[in-house]
């Protein structure tokens, strides 16, 4: 199971979902089912929509998640891959 910890969120004008920047342990792939886990215990299920190849710094990666996740994402939240 991969884990992605959100460190920043960058809305962009050319698409509905923002680029979400974070640290990742493991691998995530486009189309993979993921779950947003918030500190209050709430969870949202969605998918990896796109990977950005421009790294915003050492050990930082930008990922676009589906609309089921993006509106609820905040700095410090955890997104995990779901095993099938």
Map out the domains of the chain with their CATH numbers.
3-81 (2.40.30.10)
More confident residue, 32 or 60: 32
pTM over 0.85: yes
In this prediction, residues 32-40 reach a mean pLDDT of 97
Select from 11, 83, 84, 73 the least CA-distant residue to 36. 73
User: Does position 84 have pLDDT exceeding 60, yes or no?
Assistant: no
Name the band, by pLDDT with cuts 50, 70 and 90, for residue 83. Answer: confident
> Which residues fall within 8 angstroms of residue 54, CB to CB, at 6 or more apart?
62
């Amino acid at each position: 199971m991969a884990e992605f910890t959100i460190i920043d969120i960058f809305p962009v004008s050319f698409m509905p979902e923002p680029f979400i920047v974070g640290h990742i342990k493991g691998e995530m792939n486009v189309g993979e089912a993921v779950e947003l886990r918030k500190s209050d215990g709430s969870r949202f299920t969605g998918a990896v929509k796109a990977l950005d190849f421009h790294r915003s710094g050492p050990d930082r990666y930008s990922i676009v998640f589906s609309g089921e996740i993006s509106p609820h994402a905040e700095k410090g939240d955890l997104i995990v891959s779901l095993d099938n």
